[in-house]
Structure 1
Amino acid sequence: MKRNTNKFGLGDSPVANGKGPDDHDLNQSNLYAIVDIETTGGQPHQDKITEIAIFIHDGEKIVDKYHTLINPEKPIPFFITQLTGIKDDMVQEAPKFYEVAKEIVEFTEGKVFVAHNVRFDYSFIKKEFADLGFTFQRKTLCTVRLSRALMPGLPSYSLGKLCKSIDIPLSQRHRAIGDAEATAILFDKLLKINRPVVDGNMNMASEHTTQVLKQEIKTSLLPPAISKEQVDALPMVPGVYYFHNEAGEVIYVGKSINIKKRIIQHFNIDYKSRKSLDFKNNIADITYELMGNELVSLLFESAEIKRMKPQYNRQQRRSVFNTGIFSYLDENGYKRLTFGSVNKADNISMTPIIALSNHYKAKGFLFHKVAKYNLCQKLCDLYKTYGACFDYQVHQCSGACIGKESPEEYNKRVEEAIESFTFEHNSFVIVGKGREPGERSVVVVEHGTYLGFGFVDDTFSANSMEDFKEAIKRYNDNKDVQQIIRNYMRGKHKDKVLVFD
C-alpha cells in the first residue's frame, strides 16, 4: 500500500464526515456502523488505537464488515497485552492509522456510529483524525443506553455480562473483532425486539423500538441511566448539583450559575480517560439545591464536598486544617510570620490569619510569600540561625534578620503579603441575590473568619452584625472558603457589602 503522511485521500474538505450529523434520516436509510477498538491505554490524548473492527447493519441484518490491526507507533504496555493478547510484534507490520483512515471514513460515512459505551470508541477515533488535521463527526448511538431502554431490569449492562444474559456468543473478548461482532449481534436483537410477524416473517421494527432508537441517537451523550426528561427538567439558575450512583450515593458535587447548562456540558465533553468514562457511566440520578447566586453556590459546594467527600471530587475534599499562619511583633519591632498548630498555636496566643491542612503546606505557603514579597526566611521561621539568613548571604534578603533593614520598611512588605491572603475588611456582610423574588442571601465574615451564609426576605431589618449572625447557618472557616470569598470580592460583582470594622 502506498503511504502518504500528509493526506489520506479525503479530498480538500477539512471535515471527514460526508453528511453532517443531522442529515441522517431513520426513515430513509437505516445504516449503522457498529464499531469496537483496542488501544494502548485509556486516555485518547496520549494513547493510540491498536485494532479496529466495523460491522455494517442496514436495519435488517449485518451486510458488511471491516477489520484490521493498527500499528500504534508506540510500545503496547504489558498489562494491555495481558488483557487483549495484542503484542508489539503483531502490529509491527500492520498499517498505521493514517493508512487506513480513508477506509474508516468510507465505512462509517452516512451511518450512525454505534458502540458499547460509545464515547470511548468515538473519542479515540475523533482524536486520531484530529491528529491528522481532520474533523471526524458522526451521529452516535450507545448500545448500553439502548439495552437499558429496551431490556430494562437486567443485572448488568457490561458487554460480557449482557451477552451472557441473552445468550450471545462472545469468543474473542477484549479483541475488537470479537467485541464488535458481539455488539452487532446485540444490536440486531435490540432492533428486532417487539417486531410483529407477518406471513411468517418479521416486519419492520415496532413503533416503540423505532421511537426508542430515534430518542437514543439524540441522547447518546447522556449517561446510560439518565433520561432526556431528567435533563430537560433541570433548572437554568444558580445552585449546587449532585450526581448519584445506582445505590443513591453522591459520587460528585458541582456548582454553576446555570445548573442545566453546566450538567449538559459535563455530558457533552469528549471522553478523556477510563476514569472519566466510569464516572459518566456511574451517574444514575441527579438532584440539586438552588442557591440564588454564584458566591453562595461556591461556598455551599465547598462545604458539601468536605462533608460528603464524593468519589469523583478531587478538589476541596480536605476538611481538616490543623496548621495556621500567624503574625506577631517581636521585641525589635519586626512583624513576623510563623506557622504552627491551630489548636496549640505553638505558644502564640492569637488567631491564625489563615489555616492550612498541615505543616508541610504551611511551610510551602510561607516560602512562596517570602519569594514574592522579598521577606526574610529567618523572620518567617523558615531558617534557624543566630546570624543572617541564607537569603541575605546570596543578596536576596535586605537584612532585616540582622537589623540592617528598618522595621518600618520591612513591615510594609509583610503587610502586603498578609493583604494578599486576607480580606480587605475585618468584619463584613455580603448581601446578594436570593433563590426567588423577595429574598436575599447574606454571607457573614467577622474578625477575618467566615461564619456562614443564609437567606432573608426583603423585610429583614438588621442594625448590627449580631442581627446578621442570627440569620445564617454556620459553616466551617478554612483556606478554601476564604480563597473563594477573596476572589469573589476582587471580581466584578454587584452584591452589596456592609462593613462593620
Structure 2
Amino acid sequence: MYAILDIETTGGKYNEEGITEIAIYKFDGHKVIDKFISLVNPEREIQPFVVNLTGINSNMLKTAPKFYEVAKRIVEITEDCIIVAHNSEFDYRILRTEFKRLGFGFKRETLCTVELSKQLIPDQPSYSLGKLTRSLGIPVSDRHRANGDAMATVKLFKMLLTKDLDKYIIENNIKKAVAEKRLNPNHKIIIDALPAVTGVYYIHDAEGKIIYIGKSNNIKHRINQHLTNNSTKSKKLQLQVASVTYEKTGSELIALLKESEEIKRNKPIHNRALRRNIFTHALYSYQDENDYTILNIDIADGKKTPITTFTNRQSAKSFMFKAVEAYNLCQKLTGLYPTKSSCFNYTIKQCFGACIKEEAPESYNKRVQQLIEKHSYDNKDMIIIDKGRDIEERSVIYIQNGVFKGLGFFDLNYQITNIEVLQSIITPMENNRDTQHIIQSYLRKNKRLKVLHLNPSK
C-alpha cells in the first residue's frame, strides 16, 4: 500500500519551513482508495517567491487548520503505507519535522519517483515533475498546488509500476511487509483480496521473492485454482505462497506479452522452463518455377522468416482454409489439396485456375500478397490499441519497422500518434519469436482490434 503525497511549504531556512498545503492519495497499486487534501495554517511567514509560485498567500490560510489539527488524519491515511513522492527526501523531512514539533515520532518507508524515473525511464531531458509528466503525456492540472502535483505523481507512479519489469518495487514492498508484520495469511485471505480482472499475477514466498508468474482474464479465479488444485505444481505453490500481487492490464494482449517477458527476466522457480518457442508451426511462402507464390505450412524453423506462426498444425490448417475462402486462393498452391491436376475448388468455380495455369501468376500473386500484408507486420511502423486498465485509458503496442518495441498505457485525452510521446510512455521489451507469435495470433483472433499505421517521418 502506498501513500502518494505532495506538500507545499512556506520556504525559508532549512528545517524552519512550515506546511501550507498537503495532498495524500492512498493507492493500492491499482487505484486510489482514500484521499486527504487540505490547506494548512503554517503559523509563520510565506516567502514571496513561494506565493508567486503556488498562488497560496497568508489570507488564504487564516481559517485553515493548523498542523496539529490534521496530524491524526495524516497518521491514519499513511498507516502501513510506503510514502511515495517526487523528491520524497524533501516531503518526508518536512512531515517528520512537523511531527517532531508535536513531540511525535513519525516513521514510514519511502519511495522517490525521481529516483525510480531515472532508473526506469532513462535519458529524459529533465526529471522535474512538470517537464517529466509533459514528456510522458501525463495530464497535470494545478501545477505547484499539492492536489495537482500529488495526482500527477499518482499517474507517474502507476506508469513506473508498469515499467518495472524486474519487479523491484513490489518485491521490496512485500519483503518489508512480511518481515515487519510476520504475516502468515491463509489461502482464503489471499484469494478474497484479489479482483476478478485481466492481468498478470505474481506469487511470492515469505521473502518477497517471485516464485511463479501467470496471466489470466480472471486473476481471482486463477489463484483459487492454484491454491485448491491437487497437481504437483499447485501443491508446491500452496506450501510456499505468502502473498500474491498482480498487475491489472485490461488487455489480454498486454497480459500475454508481460507474462512472457517477465518469466524470462525473473525466472521464477515454479514456472516450467519455457519451451524454445510457444508455437510449433508457421506459414511460409516461396515462388515456384512458374512464378506462382506458394504458401505452405511447416514446422517452425528459426532459420526462415515466417509470415505468421501457430500453436499447432491444426490451428494452422484451420487458418489456411479460411484464407483460401477469403482471398479466393488455390487449394493446390496452399498445400490443402495435393493433386497433379486442378484443385477441388476449381471444379466449383471458387478457384480461378492457378492450379492449372489458367490464371496468370501476377493476378493470383496479388491476392496472396494481400493475405501476407494483412498477417505480417514485417517492415511496418504501427501501433495496436486495445483496452486499458480503466475507462479513461487505452493500452498500446508499438511496432517500429517490423520490430516490437514495447507496450504502455495512455490517457484518451492525448494524441498517441505523436512519436515522441509514444516512445516516452512505452516500456521497452525484447523483440523475439515468442512476442511475434503472441501479437500475430492475437491479431488473427481479434478482428476488431484498432491498428494504426504510422508515418515515422512525422
TM range (shorter): 0.3 to 0.5
Structure number with higher helix proportion: 2
TM-score normalized by the length of structure 1? 0.38
Larger Rg: 1
TM-score by length of 2: 0.41
